[in-house]
Amino acid sequence: MTCEACQRAEVDPRTGHYSRGCRNCDTRALAHSPTYFTADAMHTITPGYKAALAAVVADGESLEMAHRRVREWDKRIRGAA
């Protein structure tokens, strides 16, 4: 966590603050997105979610690893409610 938005998210995962170009912010935003919620409700990686995941994949990371990061944020966001 290096950007100011990520620091805020550590305190409140539901924050609406994001930094452009921050992979972690992009991952957290995806966890907030309708694209993720639809895929999660269907218990599958939909084509739209797969495309969104591709945008947050880090170097040397698989889609599955990126998906796990999104799920971790989703759990944190829901747990903060």
Per-residue pLDDT of the chain in tens (81 residues, 90 and over written 9): 579 999 999 999 888 899 988 999 999 999 999 999 999 999 999 999 999 999 999 889 999 999 999 999 999 998 866
User: What was the pLDDT predicted at 1?
Assistant: 52
Distance CA 57, CA 55 (A): 6
User: What was the pLDDT predicted at 81?
Assistant: 61
User: What was the pLDDT predicted at 38?
Assistant: 96
> Is 63 in contact with 53 (CB distance < 8 Å)?
yes
Is the pTM for the entire model greater than 0.75?
A: yes
> Is 3 in contact with 22 (CB distance < 8 Å)?
yes
